[in-house]
Amino acid sequence: MSRVGLKPIVCPEGVEVNINGTSVSVKGPKGELSETIDPNIEVKMEDGVISLSRKSDLKDHKSKHGLYRALINNMIEGVSQGFKKELELNGVGYRANLQGSVIDFTLGYSHHIYFRLPAEIKAQVIAEKGKNPIVSLESHDKQLLGMVASKIKSLRKIEPYKGKGISYVGERIRRKAGKAAAK
């Protein structure tokens, strides 16, 4: 039994949901998103409450029941409130500059890294003296935001000995002891 799939989704005011066969489109103040739903999952909307049901209890249908409920919920939350991720640059001389829709990273390599952001993502670079620079990303699309944040993070992965690299704000970094501790 899918516990996630059975939860109803309450549609907030200002969000318009269109269900057309196997496609669901959501429009709100932050933007517009759409998703194609598996034909074995049925989506219904009654009095501003969206509910999903599956045609059978096959393992594949059960897993997709919860998946599509979560995807629709994320779309509704995204177009009404939006999502935000913050990345922290840990390292001496690590910097980021925003130039339109391109972020210029200085990450200890011999060259600059220019990262072009998709049109749906808004970025902001916060660089205070004495603190690590923070790149703040905002979007209405949770999947795209997570993918872009992951790609930025992969530009300089966290190094376990000194903790240098790009990490999410608040992420715990597993540190290793150096050579001296091995004796």
Q: What percent of the chain has pLDDT above 90?
A: 70
**At residue 50, what is the residue type?**
I
The answer for 130, left when phi > 0, alpha when psi is -120 to 50, beta otherwise, is: left
Q: Which residue in the block uniquely carries the two structure tokens 């790009």?
A: 166
The predicted structure's pLDDT at residue 182: 57
pLDDT, tens digit, 9 for 90 and up, residues 49-99: 999 998 888 888 888 998 999 999 999 999 999 999 999 999 999 999 999
pLDDT, tens digit, 9 for 90 and up, residues 129-161: 989 999 999 999 999 999 999 999 999 999 999
pTM above 0.85, yes or no: yes
Q: Which two tokens stand for residue 161?
A: 């000995």
The predicted structure's pLDDT at residue 181: 62
Q: Which two tokens stand for residue 40?
A: 């074995």
| Contact assessment for residue 33 and residue 25, using Cβ atoms and an 8 Å cutoff | yes
> What domains appear along the chain, each with residue ranges and CATH number?
3-80 (3.90.930.12), 83-170 (3.90.930.12)
Task: Kindly state the average pLDDT of the residues 29-49.
Answer: 91
The predicted structure's pLDDT at residue 183: 60
